[in-house]
Chains A and B, each alone.
Chain A
Amino acid sequence: MSTEPEQTLTRRRLLRNGAASSVLLAAGPLLAASPARAATARIADALAAAAPKKGGTLTFARSVAPTQLDPANSIIAGDVYTLDKIMEPLYITSPAGQLVPWLAESHTTSADGLTWTFNLRPGVKFSNGMPLTPADVVFSIKREAANKNGPLSFLDFAIKTIKPSGANKVVMTLSAPWAPFLSDISVFANAIIPANYGGKSEKAFFANPIGTGPFMLDSFTPSSNLTLKRNPHYWQAGKPYLDAVHMNYVSDDNQRVLQIQSGEAQIIDSVPPANVAALKKASGIGVELFPAWEVDLLVFNEKLPQFADRHVRRAITYAIDRPALVAATSFGTAKPGGSFLPPSLEYYDPKTPVLAYSLSAAKAELAKSKYPHGFKTKLLIAGGVQKWSEFAAIIQQSLAPLNIIVTIDSPDNAAFHTQFEAFNYEMFIDYAINDISDPDEMASFELDFKSGGSSSYWSSYNNPAVIALVHKAEAEFDSAKRAALYGQIQAIVAGDAPFVPLDYPPYIYATSNKVNGFAVNPGGAYRLENVWLS
């Protein structure tokens, strides 16, 4: 699949192409209609008009609803993509997928990789007007690292000590060299709050949290609508541009599309791929696809003898025509899967030797297995999701020529999770995501059978050579060497086929043309301090 040019389009290049083409579109008619000098003047006017405008209220209809706003104790999308507007970490991930210094202005790492010193940005204040201090950082990160029930507290496991140093430094020491550390620090769960909750009780604090973010909580009904208002003490001068943001909970796909069409909402998330073409044609509405750290996987249960057989897994991988599957289901929005790492993630290797569709190769591979005449099996998916039903039906048809007869089981989402996490399945389809900008989270969760936390994404895949490489990459600080290690890992995994990476779906948003400056990072987070309404 490395021959597919679209496959290798990185997130950064995609964004750059997108930005360049929209500039051309805007300038095109002006250039064609007027002499060069007038055109220059008009472009200058257009640029002046494009200067951010302050004020206004944004209405955002989302498929997710916040339940509570404690960053250390939630993994629910509605919580995560709300509290990150209020509380910020030391580093963040930009829309291009790169780490950017945020509440820290910079950091230094000791030669042995064990001591990390963060220099706090001067002049940062919390929304209550109090200045950000090293004590706040120490309190917040210690709280998250010590929170054994925290959904993402495992990301802080490497921290041994954390201490304030002087007026604006925080020093963290690690128990071992840990290359993904800066990515870990950038996760929303490591957001900074005032030390000792600013003198309040924990519960009272998170009912109306104080942070350094561009917005503050205005009103909130759990699992329903929420309103944010501008933080007057925000550290980026002149920002945010918006006075307020209404985040409305609209769970029904169709209703969200209707709200953007009618103008009741100015941004909607999770646009169904089937609606993309029609929305693009609608006047006053734009559709944007943002690459995601997300891969849809077909997972094999290697506790069963047929899937412990490497030839069987390879045969099934060969038999699934991924470009055709994506073309039939995503309406041109997703990219066919290849490596288990998505192209949006650092160290993704476009040259990974993927087992591309070939029915003859599939049959040859199955002939080498202990099941040359096929077998009967079951495919588990979460019910009520059209995409999974379509994927399952296509896989069912794709495996029929191998005489692998698939029946599809689709319980509701909660039952689905219980079933596959108990290894009560034969094959299942699910999406794997990365929460941070470093591929280690995905690599260890999906490949490190012993300590990754999920028995290799509940596949039971256990290749000691791969696990050793994953650990080596975790301790390697040289970027070129890390890239080589992840290249090796991706190649072995593509050959072993513990799961079939089916596709790379993007985040799909529709926005009113009045909305400017909206962007989503590959982790799914969107910052709103740059958004303004024309």
Chain B
Amino acid sequence: MVIGVAAATFLLLHAVPGDPAHEVLGEHATPAAVAALLHRWGLDRSLGSQFVRYVGDLVTLRLGSSFVYGVSVISLIGDRIGETAALVGIGTLFAVLITVPLATVAASRRDRVPDHAVRGVSVLGLGMPAFWFGIVLIEIFALRLRLLPVGGAGSGFLGHIESLILPGLTASFAIVPLLVRSLRVGMLEVLGADFVAAARANGLGEVRVLIWHVARNAVIPTLTLLGLNIAFLVGSTVIVENVFALNGLGSLLLSSISSRDFPVVQAITLVLAISVVLINLATDLLAARLDPRIRLR
């Protein structure tokens, strides 16, 4: 997958017209100055030889230097990866915190008002663009209630955490609707299982049945789904960082695409692809720990 992403990024970037020299030299640049710069960057070679060099660099882990910033791509990414990782982390946390109670309520009140409400809201959530939801949150919590900052990274550790609450919520909404529906279905299946009937027959309270028996068993397919959908969450950070003025990888990716800063775009897409693969791996391992059946196989 990572190789596919690297190849696709390279080809897409070079297929669209646009010239990074323009960004650096401005509109008064002489053709000679542009040609000299393109030569320095190796962009005057054929696409095939550029690709071979790119793959060679990747294999030897040379990500190169940014055209626009003139510094190594690794240092640019290093400056920003923490912000994006924190956003993904908090977004995932919110996704879980929102999903579990909603799905439990919906499953335990199947086909009644709460169930319809949760299902309705999750359909609505699927159709709602992240930037719009973010703006609504800012309007309510930052401008009217003045509880949280409207954007930026905040200062100090607490200020930083505080500044990630609204972006985290917004990012989580990229996957919450999917997760709620899947956990609800999972819980309904488990609710119909024999061991639940047995637990009820033994006189256990409904809350205890739901939490100890139903939720625990339904969480495994949801975790797998979370792993699969984390790509959406990571992808949503590009928009969310822009809306909330967080200077993470997503906002750097956007500006680098518009200035055709090829090495930066290629490196960030690669980093994002690798993180998605790693997160998938991690959730699979976690699922194995939670479900003895997977471990046995």
Contact = CB atoms under 8 A, between A and B. Distances in A.
Interface of A: 61, 65, 67-68, 74-76, 148-149, 151-152, 154, 221-225, 248-252, 254-256, 258-259, 261-262, 264, 411-415, 417-419, 421, 445, 453-454
Nearest to A435: B28
Contacts of B70: 67-68
5 contacts: A222-B76, A252-B243, A262-B150, A414-B19, A454-B28
A222 B79 contact: yes
A154 B16 contact: no
A154 B28 contact: yes
Contact of A261 (B17, B22, B143, B258): B143
A254 B245 CA distance: 10
Interface in B2-33: 16-20, 22-30, 32-33
B51 interface: no
Contacts of A261: 143, 150
Given A68-B70, A154-B28, A251-B251, 15 more contacts: A67-B69, A75-B24, A76-B24, A152-B26, A221-B79, A223-B76, A223-B252, A224-B247, A251-B255, A254-B135, A255-B150, A259-B245, A414-B17, A414-B20, A418-B19
B229 interface: no
B19 A151 contact: no
Contacts of B152: 61, 248, 250, 259, 264
Contacts of B282: none
B25 A415 contact: no
B142 A414 contact: no
B68 interface: yes
Nearest to A261: B143
A163 B143 CA distance: 58
Contact of B259 (A61, A250, A414, A421): A414
Contacts, number: 127
B83 to A, nearest CB: 9
A290 to B, nearest CB: 22
A151 B30 contact: no
Interface in B175-218: none
Nearest to B155: A246
A76 B23 contact: yes
* Most chain A CB within a 10 A radius of its CB, from B79, B138, B150, B252: B150
Contacts of A251: 242, 245, 251, 254-255
Interface string B129-168: 0000001001000110010011111000000000000000
Interface residues of B, number: 47
Contacts of B285: none
Given A255-B150, A264-B152, A411-B17, A149 B26 contact: no
A417 B25 contact: no
B71 interface: yes
Interface of B: 16-20, 22-30, 32-33, 36-37, 68-71, 76, 79-80, 135, 138, 142-143, 146, 149-153, 242-245, 247, 251-252, 254-255, 258-260
Given A250-B245, A415-B18, A418-B19, A223 B138 contact: no
A415 B255 CA distance: 14
A417 B146 CA distance: 43
B28 A419 contact: no
A89 to B, nearest CB: 18
B4 to A, nearest CB: 24
Contact of A419 (B17, B37, B146): B17
B150 A258 contact: yes
Contact of B17 (A76, A148, A154, A418): A418
Given A152-B28, A453-B30, A417 B245 contact: no
B245 A249 contact: yes
A148 B138 contact: no
A413 B79 contact: no
Nearest to A441: B28
A454 B255 CA distance: 26
Nearest to B80: A224
A417 B27 CA distance: 9
B245 A412 contact: no
Contacts of A254: 135, 243
